[in-house]
Amino acid sequence: MKRKHWSDYLWIASSVYLALGFFNILFAWLGMICFITPLFLSVIGGSKIYCNRYCGRGQLFELLGSGFGLSMKRNPPRFLRSKWFRYGFLTFFMTMFLLMIYNTYLVFAGAGLREAVTLLWVFRLPWNWTNTSFAAPWAAQFAFGFYGVMLTSTVLGLVTMIIFKPRTWCVYCPMGTMTQGICIMKHRKERENGRKSETNSGTFKNIGQ
């Protein structure tokens, strides 16, 4: 039996994060860790180590789907893994994220704070039981928006976990698509640079002759 690593328990962090949002929406800011870390690791390291080892959400789906048997474990439809769908979903997700940033800017510029979490980009859930008075209104607005993004992805992940395989969310996760895209670009560039240096060294050899 494989020994458990500390990173195998990151599902606890994901669960705690989702729970904390119910107590105080400002905890939503912590979600930025899940947003920046995978990008940082893929840009610097050129790998998907975050998805492979440190993604608490993926672990949570695995635990619920396989451990608790909540998944029907059916194969997901083919379109879900197609480049068109994955990059299309990434574009859509990022557009909604930018809209959320714009709303934060509006509050920063003087618009009123909207104490609601938008679920699945349509449903506005009133979220006015948390005290946000000690934070700047724009910071609170960002927290509402970001928690909506995190909750939406969790709900989508849970639905696809139940209907299909436990980690079906990983197939079309915008962060996963983005980090894989970064890795592809990074290694393509390295390969091209490698080829160039090979050509250059060849040219120098020829000149030398």
Partner 1 sequence: MYLSKKKANITTQCVACGCCVKTCPFGAITIHKGICAVIDGQKCVGCGKCEAVCPASVIYIALREDVKNEA
Contacts with partner 1, residue ranges (CB under 8 A): 42, 46-49, 51-53, 58, 62, 73, 75-76, 78, 80-83, 86, 164-171, 176-177, 179-180, 182-184, 187
By beta-carbon proximity to partner 1, the closer residue of 55 and 117 is 55
- Residue 11 makes CB contacts below 8 A (sequence gap 6+) with 56, 57, 59, 60, 62, 63
Residue 195 in tokens:
């080829």
For partner 1, the closer CB: 11 or 164: 164
Q: How far is the CB of 82 from partner 1 (least distance, A)?
A: 7
Give the span between the Cα atoms of 209 and 196, in whole angstroms. Answer: 20
Q: How far is the CB of 79 from partner 1 (least distance, A)?
A: 11
Nearer to partner 1, 100 or 170 (CB): 170
Q: Are 25 and 151 in contact (CB under 8 A)?
A: no
Spell out the SS3 assignment of 112-132. Answer: CCCCEEEECCCEEEECCCCCC
Q: Which is nearer to partner 1, 53 or 156 (CB)?
A: 53
Task: Write down the least CB distance from residue 80 to partner 1, Å.
Answer: 7
- Cα of first residue to Cα of last residue in the chain, in angstroms, is 60
- Minimum distance, C-beta of residue 78 to partner 1, in the bound complex (Å): 8
Task: At 143, give phi and psi (nearest 5°).
Answer: -60, -45
Provide the residue count of the chain.
209
Question: Residue 114 or residue 165: which is nearer to partner 1 going by CB?
Answer: 165
- Least distance to partner 1, CB of residue 114, Å: 35
SS (H, E, C) 74-100: CCCCHHHHCHHHHHHHHHHHHHHHHHH
